[in-house]
Amino acid sequence: MRFVTVSGPPAVGKTAVIIKTLEHIKQAGSKVGVVKFDCLATDDDALYRKQGIAVRKGLAGALCPDHYFVSNVEECVQWGLAEGLDVLVSESAGLCNRCSPHIREVLAVCVIDNLSGTDAPRKIGPMLKAADVVVITKGDIVSQAEREVFAARVRMVNPKAAIMHVNGITGQGSFELGTLWTGTKETTTVEGLKLRFSMPAALCSYCLGETRIGADYQMGNVRKMDLDLPTGTKTDGGPGAPGVSGGGS
């Protein structure tokens, strides 16, 4: 089975790109499936199902979505194999731009759109930087010049990736993207493989459901901003605050 991780900021058109691309692969007689990762709610599974694409969804809920992804990805691969899929795609939104679901030795695709602004490629971080293929969408509504500027910015962040322009509405470019997916190597397990980029080092009381504000409620990996406050300013006195030792990372 060919396994592909697709990531990208919310609302760039990941689902549309995946549907258009899998359509071509399906037409060629292959069995395709998607595991959709999201946070709180998604109806995309219905969209996939409507297209005849096998689908499972995973909602991270209170957990960090990327940690949730990595804790479940092996099971997803095994599901794909059990379903007899030829191509399995994992779809996840990079929500804080800090993480990336990309795994070494597994084809990594990052989807971004031309409307996100020319600084976006620099802000997106590891899911763009560590991708093998960068798909740029919504090219049909911006000028050629803007597309070129945007592609150049992507190139500066990731000099090695193949940059492809795909239109999620008309499907332009999706056939070509599909040839990369079917041409990638076989995956039978991801156990033992490594993430291309480590997940953030964060385990604090807020990760565990704390909602109250103040030093008394901050435990674990807490780091304070350096705001250069005048002495005597009221702070919550948390770890790392002026005059308080300990805490911080």
Q: Which of 46, 156, 203, 213 contacts other proteins by CB under 8 A?
A: 156
Stretch that binds other proteins, among 51-59, 82-90, 93-101, 165-173 (CB under 8 A): 165-173
- Judged by CB, which is closer to other proteins: 98, or 153? 153
Rounded Cα distance between 148 and 154, Å, is 10
Stretch that binds other proteins, among 1-9, 88-96, 147-155, 196-204 (CB under 8 A): 147-155
- Judged by CB, which is closer to other proteins: 71, or 143? 143
* 144 binds other proteins per the rule CB under 8 A: yes
Contacting residues for 135 by C-beta, under 8 A, at least 6 apart: 8, 17, 109, 110, 111, 112, 164, 165, 166, 173, 177
Contacting residues for 203 by C-beta, under 8 A, at least 6 apart: 220, 221
Q: Which of 160, 185, 212, 234 contacts other proteins by CB under 8 A?
A: 160
Q: Which of 140, 208, 213, 229 contacts other proteins by CB under 8 A?
A: 140
Q: Which of 145, 201, 225, 227 contacts other proteins by CB under 8 A?
A: 145
* 175 binds other proteins per the rule CB under 8 A: yes
* 148 binds other proteins per the rule CB under 8 A: yes
Q: Could you give phi then psi for residue 95, rounded to 5 degrees?
A: -85, -40
Stretch that binds other proteins, among 48-56, 150-158, 211-219, 233-241 (CB under 8 A): 150-158
* 185 binds other proteins per the rule CB under 8 A: no
Q: In what order do the strands lie in the sheet with 54-59?
A: 54-59, 32-38, 87-93, 2-8, 107-113, 133-137, 162-165
> Taking a C-beta distance cutoff of 8 angstroms, is the pair 204, 219 a contact?
yes
Report helix angle 174-182 to 14-27, nearest 10: 70
Binding mask 85-114 toward other proteins (x if CB under 8 A, else -) reads -----------------------------x
The CA angle 26-32-36, to the nearest 5 degrees, is: 130
Amino acid at 91: E
User: DSSP assignment, residue 7?
Assistant: E
Stretch that binds other proteins, among 40-48, 72-80, 143-151, 201-209 (CB under 8 A): 143-151
* 119 binds other proteins per the rule CB under 8 A: no
**Which residues form the interface with other proteins (CB under 8 A)?**
114-115, 118, 122, 139-146, 148-149, 151-153, 155-157, 159-160, 162, 165, 170, 172-173, 175-176, 179
